[in-house]
């Protein structure tokens, strides 16, 4: 800023400060007006939304700590979230097996429900996200038609019940239950899933970073705080627990108004911080290869969708919206790759939205990224509205075509043997 340089040069008087402030204010106003004029010349061509599922039952309860009742009533489906839908594989065939969901259903929480199930609260959260997208892309900007059409909207989910149901609820909110056809929700078999870091489907990812999950709890500052909170909650030292598990149970309780130990409430800020510290260590964003293996194929898919649209070679020329129902463990590495991770855990129903825009006259393509409904400036981009070429260059270090991803996943020579 000029005002800062004026002070460095010994010119930081009130008169000079006022002069420079007025000049900067004028330039900022002019720049905003220019951007507004430019944006009016931009036509929306494609929207892609990555969104986390809604509130759910915990994956695990904190052991021996004030158990609460996770009763079936918490999973009641609101009538306004009902739509006619079918779950298929990526080619439209039968839904693949879901070993992750099977693992949840091998256990029952106190109260009678399974771990990781979308609750009524979570269903409403996704319905509300759908309504927000409706306000933006149907009411404010006449981009989508007012009822669901599979030619216009593509819906993909991880093959887990909570993400599938979240996708359904979002579509219900977006189109207010109006549909021209059945809503297909596409899923992939577990070994080929790219909508989250796939430690089971990618040998190299598991060998390079799988151990970092356990290692993250042993980092000195985290280990010290973990021992202190275990002592405060009366959890035996030999009991396996970490900040991510504690946070998961704590947030699930809070979201549903269920009892939380007072000792845990007083530790809330530390639990949040240490859980994020753990996940930051696990994903290791300073190492490009780790993020590539975590979300590279997903980012490549989203980039390819935009590239096909710009070049007019999309296999579905009428497609305007891609919806991806994913997890917090998807959003965080994506945010890291985008350079906008704020060191906060993404809340339930959090979304990353990518808009592809085209200048009406020059036909130049641009990308705008939003997180939690707020526009973001991506490092490497000259502005919030980023020329597609700049965005592609900024993301080139992290995108990874699926065939190259699989080739790298299977190359594990010289690495420790599979445990």
User: What are the backbone dihedrals phi and psi of residue 376, each rounded to the nearest 5 degrees, phi first?
Assistant: -125, 140
Q: How far apart are CA 53 and CA 125, in angstroms?
A: 9
User: What are the backbone dihedrals phi and psi of residue 370, each rounded to the nearest 5 degrees, phi first?
Assistant: -130, 145
**Are 75 and 123 in contact, with CB atoms under 8 Å apart?**
no
Residues 6+ apart with CB under 8 A from 62: 233, 235, 241, 245, 246, 249, 250, 264
E-strand spans in 262-337? 321-326
53 included as an active-site residue: yes
Q: What's the chain's length in residues?
A: 419
Pairing type for strands 321-326 and 153-157 reads parallel
Q: How far apart are CA 242 and CA 281, in angstroms?
A: 14
* Cα 36 off chain centre by: 29
- Tokens 């898919």 locate to 301
Out of 53, 256, 300, 327, pick the active-site residue.
53
Q: How far apart are CA 13 and CA 88, in angstroms?
A: 69
**Are 93 and 284 in contact, with CB atoms under 8 Å apart?**
no
- Tokens 């990353």 locate to 352
E-strand spans in 200-342? 321-326
Give burial (CB, 10 Å; 0-12/13-18/19+) of 3: middle
Out of 102, 328, 351, 359, pick the active-site residue.
328
> Where are the alpha helices (H) located in 75-189, listed in sequence order?
99-104, 120-134, 161-175
List the beta bridge partners of residue 374: 371
CB hemisphere CA count around 271 (13 angstroms): 22
Residue 207: C-alpha distances to residues 330, 336, 415 (Å): 19, 21, 7
**Are 123 and 81 in contact, with CB atoms under 8 Å apart?**
yes
Residues forming the active site: 53, 328
């Amino acid at each position: 800023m000029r005002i800062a340089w004026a002070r460095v040069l010994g010119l930081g008087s009130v008169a000079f400060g006022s002069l420079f402030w007025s000049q900067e204010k004028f330039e900022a106003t002019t720049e905003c007006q220019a951007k507004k004029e430019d944006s009016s010349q931009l036509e929306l061509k494609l929207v892609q939304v990555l969104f986390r599922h809604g509130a759910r039952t915990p994956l695990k309860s904190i052991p021996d700590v004030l158990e609460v009742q996770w009763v079936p009533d918490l999973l009641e489906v609101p009538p306004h979230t009902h739509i006619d839908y079918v779950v298929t594989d990526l080619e439209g065939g039968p839904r693949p097996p879901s070993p992750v969901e099977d693992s949840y259903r091998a256990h029952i929480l106190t109260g009678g429900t399974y771990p990781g199930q979308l609750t009524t609260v979570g269903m409403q959260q996704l319905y509300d996200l759908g309504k927000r997208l409706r306000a933006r892309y149907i009411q404010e900007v006449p981009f989508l038609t007012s009822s669901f059409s599979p030619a216009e909207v593509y819906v993909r989910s991880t093959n887990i019940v909570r993400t599938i149901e979240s996708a359904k609820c979002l579509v219900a909110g977006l189109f207010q239950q109006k549909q021209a056809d059945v809503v297909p929700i596409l899923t992939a078999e577990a070994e080929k899933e790219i909508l989250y870091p796939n430690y089971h489907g990618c040998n190299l990812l598991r060998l390079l970073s799988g151990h970092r999950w356990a290692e993250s709890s042993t980092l000195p500052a985290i280990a010290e705080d973990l021992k202190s909170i275990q002592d405060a909650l009366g959890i035996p030292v030999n009991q396996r627990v970490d900040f991510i598990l504690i946070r998961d149970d704590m947030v699930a309780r809070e979201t549903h108004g269920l009892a939380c130990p007072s000792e845990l409430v007083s530790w809330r800020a530390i639990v949040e911080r240490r859980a994020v510290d753990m996940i930051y260590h696990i994903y290791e964003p300073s190492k490009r290869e780790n993020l590539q293996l975590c979300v590279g194929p997903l980012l490549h898919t989203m980039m390819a969708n935009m590239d096909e649209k710009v070049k007019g070679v999309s296999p579905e020329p009428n497609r305007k919206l891609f919806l991806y129902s994913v997890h917090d463990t998807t959003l965080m590495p994506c945010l890291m790759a985008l350079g906008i991770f704020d060191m906060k855990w993404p809340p339930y129903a959090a979304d990353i939205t990518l808009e592809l825009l085209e200048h009406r006259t020059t036909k130049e393509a641009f990308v705008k990224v939003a997180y939690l409904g707020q526009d973001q400036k991506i490092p490497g981009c000259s502005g919030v509205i980023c020329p597609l070429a700049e965005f592609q260059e900024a993301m080139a270090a992290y995108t990874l075509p699926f065939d190259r991803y699989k080739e790298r996943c299977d190359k594990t020579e010289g690495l420790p043997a599979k445990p």
